[in-house]
Structure 1
Amino acid sequence: MISDHRSNLRKAQWETFNISLGPHMMGPMGEDEDPEIEMAALANSLPSTAKTYTPDGLNHIGTFSDATQSFSPSTTHGKLLRSINVVIMSAKINVLLPFGPVSIILHYLTRKHGLVFFFSLIGIIPLAERLGYATEQLAFYTGPTVGGLLNATFGNATEMIIAIYALKSGLIRVVQQSLLGSILSNMLLVLGCSFFSGGIVYWKKDQVFNKATAVVNSGLLLMAVMGLTFPAVLHFTHSEVQYGKSEVSLSRFSSCVMLVAYGSYLVFQLKSHSNLYNPIVNQEEGQIEDDSGEEEVPEVTLWEAIAWLAVLTIWISVLSEYLVDAIEGASESLNMPLAFISVILLPIVGNAAEHTSAIMFAMKDKLDITLGVAIGSSTQIAMFVIPFCVVVGWIMGKPMDLNFQLFETATLFITVLVVAFMLQEGTANYLKGLMLILCYLIVAASFFVHVDPKTSDD
């Protein structure tokens, strides 16, 4: 009995092995075999030392091979080419990039400051726009609030770099007027074009934005106007204790106070009252003002965005040096007032990134982001960049102060009042945008006929 059972078991094992080999190698199978014996024979026929590979194991093998491939030189080269294609080749405005190297060549081959200034100015435009693009890519990894702050900071990097080079060259009036022009450009031209473009797209309705944040920024801008007004009034009324020195001391003290106020504003914006900076709810549709159907994704990685920010900032710094060196000669050769170049032309180039992005957000009915770009940038220049330049001039031994002369100070004061009046209702339309643009044209014409006095007594 036992020997017969063993022989039957071996027979079942052999037939099961034939089944595993496939139909073409399968031998005859008895019709009276017990299925349980066949299954047991199949289990016993498998070797005990055989290794099985699960799908998880195969996935691990694939992951390891991918990781190995990602560190290969060919893959790194491919990622670099892809990043260059996304950042440099995909933007049509980058056809202006060759103007930068041409300006450097003209600087050493010729002494035509007008051409050097013009080519440097044109060459900085695509760099400023790409700097804004890299900042937007970085904002995908930092969140909307920090991203908006980074956008405003790196959006003002061009103005700050130009101001530091001008301060190093002793061109204090160029520093003052270029920073003043950045504030005027953001508050009137950028915001006006954004309101006008959004109003044309949404013709029959008023766009709404968060009025609370606009009120906070307006208050900070009025504080900045106060900080700029007192040194000018003190100087021109000849009521200072030490003529020519008290206004500098007052400017340095006020700059430190303004920096403290801006630091408090950052804490207010990012920590204590961050809920105020959330997008508002659309009262008509009951939804947050966002395109729910469009989900934007970053086009470059985190470290690629940081690397591009560094490269673009360095290249803007190089061109800014040649731009500042040629600005006075360009004013003479082009027969154009230095105040007009500093207040109007330089800020338009520096605000190229903010101008484009603010208009695009307004046309998508995202006015909170538009105000964060335009008014937030103006607030940062007034409360951080200008006091920072005063402190840097203090360190350099340059008499940089907050005395922006009566004409410039009065222009800034009236501009802040006009914009604050436009923002008090929390709505925007094409008429408000058109009014802001026309106000900027009046300001530009005023600086075109304005002659900067040679001395403060004049």
Structure 2
Amino acid sequence: MNKKIWYPLLAVSTLLSAWAHFYTSIQPLQFGTACLSLLFWAALLGKATESVAHYAGERIGGFLNATFGNAAELIIAIFLVKEGLFDMVKASITGSIIGNLLLVLGLSMFVGGVKYKTQNFNPVLAGHNASLMMLSVIALFVPAAFLTDPTRVTAQEDITVSVIIAVALILAYILWLIFSLVTHRKEMGASVDGMVDGIENEEHAIWSKWGSILVLVISTTFVAIQSEWLVHSVQSVAHTLGWTEMFVGAFLIAIIGNAAEHSAAIFLAMKNRMGAAVEIAIGSSLQIALFVAPMLVFVSLLFNRPMDLVFTNYEVAAVAVSALIASSVSRDGSTNWYEGILLLLVYVILGTVFFIV
């Protein structure tokens, strides 16, 4: 990160976004400047979490990176729920999952594979990730298959079932954290005693330990602010451009929100730390599916605007094919540039279909 260039750009984009939000009524301009500023702040957030990971270790660091990398998606989704834009919320959840599994992981595999012929990571962790991805697909498929007939299921029953599924998913995620970070930490770990894939990690963090935490807090705060400004104008912009809420939520908002994961995972793959890159990309998708999505159900209840977990057939199909191809290419614990291309091609196919639909 070139601070001489980066920080002025960050400041200018933030001031432009503030000016457009408070002093103009041109919503496309508000949306564009908010997107630009959000990209810079999300990337800074990614760098801050990468710096924190240097002090916390690769497994904990990957978890923190995925967690704070998802802060943008979660904050955007909360504001969308508050506005009652449930279709866009669900589309953004879908987009976050497929974006991490296909775009972030695909770019990481491709960029890392161009530099290194084959990159390896923990196959045991890859196997568990594949199982959790299937759980995510099941959690989306069951409500879509059984709760869409209004003659059999009332709106209240719909919400009740969604709450039960949300509790089950959050429980599964919490138990996974205990399993992977506590009881089976050695089996799941990709690095021990400062070693990464058997190579000593001699890199230095960008900031000190407390400096990293401070930057993390500041960047998360500004991500929240820019997210609110973006949501304020997104519906009008989508209508003006003729884009559906599904496409805007699944691709535009998801790509912007995934900026932190993009930068961190790709840089780690370029340093032959594919284990950490996979932990960020797949771990982030799992966190969205198993924690963020069900948590939004409870957030919607706080706003007195109940949201269910019934996704459209398009969204369920998109998550299913993404989980299938990501599981297929990563289950053996090794990657190459061609597998990255396969993931990116599937992302292009889904993006084309979502745009048309």
TM-score by length of 1: 0.73
SS in 2 for 1:111: coil
Give the match for residue 289 of structure 1.
Answer: 197
User: Is it true that 1:346 corresponds to 2:265 in the alignment?
Assistant: no
- Paired AA for residue 377 in structure 1: S
CA 1:297–1:207 in structure 2 vs 1: closer, same or farther (change >3 Å)?
closer
- Paired AA for residue 313 in structure 1: T
Q: Which protein is richer in helix relative to its size? A: 2
Distance in 2 (alpha carbons) for counterparts of 1:93 and 1:200: 30
Give the match for residue 320 of structure 2.
Answer: 413
Instruction: Say which of 1, 5, 12 aligns to 1:98.
Output: 12
Q: Is this contact kept in 1: 2:45–2:219, CA < 8 A?
A: yes
Distance in 1 (alpha carbons) for counterparts of 2:198 and 2:8: 30
Q: Which has the higher contact order (CA 8 A, sep 6+)?
A: 2
Tell me the percent identity.
Answer: 35
CA 1:290–1:326 in structure 2 vs 1: closer, same or farther (change >3 Å)?
farther
The ranges of structure 1 where at least 4 consecutive aligned residues each deviate by more than 6 angstroms after the TM superposition are none
User: Is it true that 1:221 corresponds to 2:221 in the alignment?
Assistant: no
Structure 1: gaps (5+ residues): 1-86, 282-286, 451-458
User: Is it true that 1:161 corresponds to 2:68 in the alignment?
Assistant: no
Q: Is this contact kept in 2: 1:138–1:302, CA < 8 A?
A: yes
Deviation at 1:110, TM superposition (A): 2.7
Distance in 1 (alpha carbons) for counterparts of 2:172 and 2:345: 32
Q: Is this contact kept in 2: 1:191–1:371, CA < 8 A?
A: yes
Structure 2: gaps (5+ residues): none
Q: Is this contact kept in 2: 1:113–1:326, CA < 8 A?
A: yes
Superposed CA RMSD in Å reads 2.1
User: Is it true that 1:386 corresponds to 2:293 in the alignment?
Assistant: yes
- Paired AA for residue 33 in structure 2: F
Give the match for residue 371 of structure 1.
Answer: 278
Deviations 1:221-276 (A, max 9, x none): 2112111112111233456342x232221111100011111010010011110012
Q: Is this contact kept in 2: 1:207–1:367, CA < 8 A?
A: yes
- Paired AA for residue 229 in structure 1: F
CA 1:164–1:364 in structure 2 vs 1: closer, same or farther (change >3 Å)?
same
User: Is it true that 1:181 corresponds to 2:95 in the alignment?
Assistant: yes
CA 1:299–1:192 in structure 2 vs 1: closer, same or farther (change >3 Å)?
closer
Deviation at 1:93, TM superposition (A): 7.6
Distance in 2 (alpha carbons) for counterparts of 1:179 and 1:199: 28
Give the match for residue 123 of structure 1.
Answer: 37
CA 1:329–1:110 in structure 2 vs 1: closer, same or farther (change >3 Å)?
same
Q: Which deviates the most, 362-371 or 140-149?
A: 140-149
User: Is it true that 1:235 corresponds to 2:147 in the alignment?
Assistant: yes
Distance in 2 (alpha carbons) for counterparts of 1:142 and 1:379: 21
Aligned length: 355
Deviation at 1:96, TM superposition (A): 4.7
Give the match for residue 200 of structure 1.
Answer: 114
Q: Is this contact kept in 2: 1:97–1:126, CA < 8 A?
A: no
Deviation at 1:90, TM superposition (A): 4.6
Deviations 1:169-208 (A, max 9, x none): 1111121111210111100011111111122112xx4322
Distance in 1 (alpha carbons) for counterparts of 2:174 and 2:332: 28
SS in 2 for 1:236: coil
Q: Is this contact kept in 2: 1:221–1:416, CA < 8 A?
A: yes
Distance in 2 (alpha carbons) for counterparts of 1:165 and 1:318: 11
* Rg larger in structure: 1
